[in-house]
Amino acid sequence: MALHTRQLYESANGDRWYLVSDPDSERVFVKHQPNRPSGGQTTEIEIGSFLNRGPRSPEHRELLRLIGTLAEGASDA
C-alpha cells in the first residue's frame, strides 16, 4: 500500500518536512527533504526523536499544532 504523506512545513530556503504514515507497517515518521542546492540526503526521523531535537523550530511547532487538532471537538470519555 502507498505511503500517506502530508507536508508539515517548507522553510524559506526550500527545505521541506512531511508527516508520513506507512499503513503496512503502521509506522509514522517525519521525512526531511533538504533543498537542492544543499545536496543533502532525504532523511526519515522517528517522531519522538524529531520532537526531542534542539530548540523548537517552525516545523516542530507545526507538528505539535497538527497533533493538537486531533483533540479538537473530541468529547471526554
34 lies in a domain?
yes
To the nearest 10°, report the CA torsion of 47, 42, 62, 57.
90
Domain that holds residue 57: 4-69
75 lies in a domain?
no
Nearest CA among 10, 51, 9 for reference residue 29:
51
pTM of the model: 0.82
Overall domain count for the chain: 1
Mean pLDDT by 10 residues, the chain (77 residues): 92 94 94 90 94 87 89 68
Report pLDDT for 75: 64
76 lies in a domain?
no
74 lies in a domain?
no
77 lies in a domain?
no
Rounded-to-integer distance, Cα 77 and Cα 71, Å: 12
Contacts of 23 (CB under 8 A, 6+ apart): 1, 3, 4
61 lies in a domain?
yes
